[in-house]
Amino acid sequence: MRIDKFISESGIASRKEASAAAKRGGVIVNGRVVKDLSEHIDPEKAEVSYLGEIIEYQKYVYILLNKPEGYVSATEDTALPVVTELLPERLRKRELFPVGRLDRDTVGVMLLTNNGPLAHRLLAPKRHVEKRYYFKCAEPLAPFAEDAFKNGVTLADGYECKSAEIIPDPDRLGGVIVLTEGKYHQIKRMIAALDNRVTYLERITFACLPIAPLPKRGEWRYLTEEEAEYIEALG
Ligand code: URA
């Protein structure tokens, strides 16, 4: 990896700033002053110091976003805003992508990472990663909703959902749903199969996340060390 890329991805300085600092002798790689930042290093082995500060290289980045309404769970879209636009420039350079999808109007917990193999494993159907949602619906839930979810709701296209849990609010106009799979529009279609309609949907947990407090809607934070360890262990 080029040294200027390494420095700018760490967020400590832009490539331009790094290049200016390097000319003044501010970049030291493995004890040697480096003036030409187009040189390549092994990011996992090199010790890079920028203006006296050692840069810790993070191969994988884990971000917890509280997704707001109106954003597409993707890294690009021709017409609509995408979740990665909510991240600062230095993180966008790290090629993060959302782990799994939430609909444009769904809000809440979303994990973004550049750890492709882990994302793949977390989304694998046999992994059974648990996701918890809070929802509101247009009509009170049918009295048989709990049993229907437990036995596996059959969607309009004939797909039989795995056994899931629904914990209705006392007025039955919403509640919590716990799923271990993630089909397209799954909750909306499950509620539709009960002749009802979702009016609000928020993911409140994804696997073990969050352990530390969730950022405000539209905001993000890095996973804590504990959260990153848990999520890596799950994959
Ligand atoms: N189920 C849905 O219907 N939509 C989501 O965004 C997530 C789960």
Specify the pLDDT at position 234. 87
> Distance, CA 228 to ligand 1 centroid (Å)?
24
pLDDT digits (tens, 9 = 90+) for 156-195: 999 999 999 999 999 999 999 999 999 999 999 999 999 9
- Is residue 235 pLDDT above 80, yes or no? no
User: Which structure tokens are listed for 72?
Assistant: 């597409």
> Distance, CA 3 to ligand 1 centroid (Å)?
42
- Look at ligand 1, atom 4, and give the residue with the nearest C-alpha: 185
Ligand 1 in reach of 67 Cβ (< 6 A):
no
Catalytically active residues are 103
pLDDT digits (tens, 9 = 90+) for 92-130: 888 999 999 999 999 999 999 999 999 999 999 888 899
> Distance, CA 222 to ligand 1 centroid (Å)?
24
- At 9, the pLDDT band (50, 70, 90 cuts) reads confident
Q: Which of 186, 189, 204 to mutate to test the pocket of ligand 1 (most atoms within 8 A of CB)?
A: 186
SS3 string, 80-106, reads: CCEHHHHCCHHHHCCCCEECCCCCCCC
Specify the pLDDT at position 11. 82
